[in-house]
Amino acid sequence: MKVLVTGTGGFIGSHLSTRLLDEGAIVTGVDNMNDYYSVDLKRDRLARLTDRENFQFLEGDIDQESFVDNVFKEGAFTHVVNLAAQAGVPYSLEYPRKYIQSNIVGFLNILEASRHNDIRHLIYASSSSVYGLNETHPSSTTQNTEHPVSLYAATKKSNEMMAHAYSHLFQLPTTGLRFFTVYGPWGRPDMAIFIFTKAILEGGTIDVFDGGAGQRSFTYVDDIVEGITRVVNRIPEPGPGWSGRDPDPSSSSGPYRIYNIGNDETVTVNRIIEGLEEIIGKKAIRNDLPERRGDVRTTFADISALEREIGYRPTTRVKEGLASFVSWYRDYYRV
């Protein structure tokens, strides 16, 4: 198996690449190494991969058509996992054009290159944020996702629709994975658990929106990687009995699938803060603020389809995952 993983310098991409290499795959990683957050952290993630025998890294932007075409031409890939994207909901309020360039134009280049290079399976990152104003919980892939509340979410919804068009028109097998609040060692500095840990250890103040009442399906990175790895080898087929008269949005008459991937238990932000306080042995200094624009108050994953079809279940309890993250943070930053 020869796999292209985009976003390899990223949090999930670096973990996934390690797992694929451990399982004997030949992996090519792509990342533009932008400065949305610490480039040093991204390079340190990559340093764990660059001495592996079956790994090569190419620096570049997936929104550059010629770069993507050359990567595919030289790679002769069997599978593609597209994790490269401009992430972050608050950032999308300030820099919307970056999301269109990376998440829409970049994904189009991946789709085009995949269909012209006989890729067996394209897996791509979607997001729980596509559920937007939908207040039915737990969130199921059979539900309506037509009301995103941020441009980031809108671009991820667009990715799902673009993939469907290519699956329908060109029989390109595509699987979209809606990630639910991933955390763990080597995590992103713009994510809440990272921000809270840093502030508590340094005696700084943490901004807590909506009184900390927001609920999330916090999911440990190893559980996410386990799910992706299983999905890679499950090439989608046309949905049996699928009908346009009563269309199931998670499948199609073409080789197309959408899954939720995450923890099917929710935890409030307040409980996360309390857990970190207990692990670190220090109280957080809180700055309580109103609900933040663009945030979805509750994410709660219905993972029954993924459990039924690939036997996926997350196994890491939140308290265990938080302890693992804090241990990594202390070690990496020498706190």
Residue with token string 């309506």: 144
CA distance 256 to 251: 6
For CA atoms 200, 202, 205, 209, the dihedral sign is negative
What ranges make up the beta strands (E) of the chain? 2-6, 26-31, 55-59, 79-82, 121-127, 174-179, 182-183, 205-209, 215-216, 219-220, 256-261, 267-268, 285-289
Assess contact for 280 and 196: CB atoms under 8 A.
Answer: no
Assess contact for 208 and 196: CB atoms under 8 A.
Answer: no
Active site members: 152
CA distances from 56 to 34, 95, 100, 218, 303 (A): 19, 31, 28, 31, 33
